[in-house]
Structure 1
Amino acid sequence: MLAALTAFAITSAARLLTGARALWLGSTAQATQRLYYANHSSHGDFVLLWASLPPQLRKRTRPVAGADYWQKPGVRSFLINRVFNGVLVDRERKEAGINPLQAMLDALDGGDSLIIFPEGTRNLSDEPLLPFKSGLYHLAHARPEVELVPVWIANLNRVMPKGRALPLPLLCTLSFGTALERIEGEGKEAFLERARNALLALAPEEA
C-alpha cells in the first residue's frame, strides 16, 4: 500500500512540477515489450519517463539504475526496489566473471520493458548527446524481439538546474520516436551510431 501511494505521489508531482507531456511521434502507447533508450542530463530523467507512461505500461516498465547509488539502506532503497521496481546494475564490477547485463537480460526474459540511458552517465557537457556505450548494442543483439524506442527528454535539466532547490516553470516534453529497425549483420559501431542519430533526430533545435 505504501509503495502504491508513493508511486502515485511521485507520478503526480513529476507531472505537476514539470508540466510533462508525452508525444508519441513514431510509436504508440501499447503494451509491447520495449527498451526505451533516452538522453540523460538530470537525476530526474528516469522518474519523468516512467511517470509519463500510461499506467498499463508503467507497471511492466523498469528503470535501470546503478546499485552503488540506489542500493543503500533507507529511502533510496525503498524507492528503487518497492516503488520503481528498478533493475540494479553493478557499475563498479565488484564481482569478477559476472555479466554486467545479466540483470537486464533476466528482466527482459521475465517480460518487462526497460528504461536505459546509453550515454552511461549524465551529460553535463555542451554536446546534445554523448557517444553511446556498448550495452544497448549487446542487449539488442541478445534479445532481437524487443523493440528499441528512442525517447528525447527536453527541458528537464532547465527545470531543475544544478544548485536550485525549486523548479523553474518550464514545460518538459518526452518525444517517443519510431522503433529502431534491425539490420542483419550490422556491426556494433554502425548500430550505436544509427541508434544515437535516431535519438538526436527527436531533439528540438535548441537542444
Structure 2
Amino acid sequence: MRNLLQSLLLGVVRLIVGAHGRHGAARPNNGQTIYFANHASHVDTLAILAALPRETRAHVRPVAARDYWDSSSTKRFIANHVLNVVFVERKRESGEDPLERVKEALATGSSLIIFPEGTRSLDGDIGPFKSGLYWLSRQFPNVALVPVHLSNLARAMPKGAVLPVPVSCHVSFGGEIARAAEDKDAFLFEARASVIRLQNTAKG
C-alpha cells in the first residue's frame, strides 16, 4: 500500500513541478547512500524521491523534523504511511542524541535524504552545513555520500505557501564524495562545495 500511495503522490509532484532528474555520469544505484541536498522548500524531499529510479527509491527514507510533519493529521499520515520518514527532534531533552533515529535507520540498511543546512534558504544561497553529515559518515564509512542540488523549488513552493506552484524544477545528482576524515571543517566545506558545483552547472 505504501508503494502505491507513494507512486501516486510522486506522480502529482512530477505533474506540477517536473522534478526532472539530472544524473550526468553518475546515476543513483541501489547501494546504501546518504543523499544530501540544499534546502529550499517543503517539496524538496518529494522532488528528490520523484527523481530517483523506482528500484532505488524503495530503500530511501527522508530525514525530517517531527514538529513540522507531526503538525497535522494529513502530514502525519504522509510521513508515516507514504514516505516512511525518519524523524529528528529539533526540540529535545538535554543530552539526547539528535541523530539516534537516523543512525538506527542506517544500521538497518536504509538510504537517507538529508538537508545539512538544517533550515530552508530564503535567498537561494546554500548556507553552512551542520555537523550531522560528518558524524554520520564517520560512524558509517561504507555508506556512499551523494550531493544533490534542487533548482527552482523555492519558486515552486515559496515560504508560507500551502500548495506548490507549477514550475519546471530539476534535481541534479553528483558523483560520490570522499568519506569523512579527521578534519570536520574541511569535510563540511567540501560537501557544501559539491552541492554548489552542481548549482553552478545547472545555471550554466
- Alignment partner of 1:116 is 2:114: yes
Partners of 1:195 and 1:161 in 2: how far apart?
26
Task: Give the match's secondary structure for 2:192.
Answer: helix
What corresponds to 1:103 in structure 2?
A: 101
Shift of 1:168: 4.4
What corresponds to 1:89 in structure 2?
A: 88
Partners of 2:95 and 2:104 in 1: how far apart?
17
**TM-score, normalising length from structure 2?**
0.91
Q: Is the helix fraction higher in 1 or 2? A: 2
Partners of 2:28 and 2:193 in 1: how far apart?
22
Q: Give identity over the alignment, percent.
A: 43
What corresponds to 1:50 in structure 2?
A: 49
Alignment of 1:1-207 (within 5 A): 1=1, 3-72=2-71, 74-93=73-92, 95-124=93-122, 126=123, 128-162=125-159, 167-182=164-179, 184-185=181-182, 187-204=183-200, 206=203
**2:34 is matched by which residue type in structure 1?**
L
CA RMSD in angstroms, aligned pairs only = 2.0
**1:107 is matched by which residue type in structure 2?**
A
User: Residue deviations 1:90-128, cap 9 Å, x none?
Assistant: 1111x333211111111001000000000000111x352
Runs of 5+ in structure 2 lacking a partner? none
Partners of 1:99 and 1:166 in 2: how far apart?
33
Partners of 1:106 and 1:26 in 2: how far apart?
31
| CA 162–102 in structure 1, closer or farther in 2 if over 3 Å, else same | closer
Size of the aligned set, in residue pairs, is 203
Moved over 6 A (4+): none
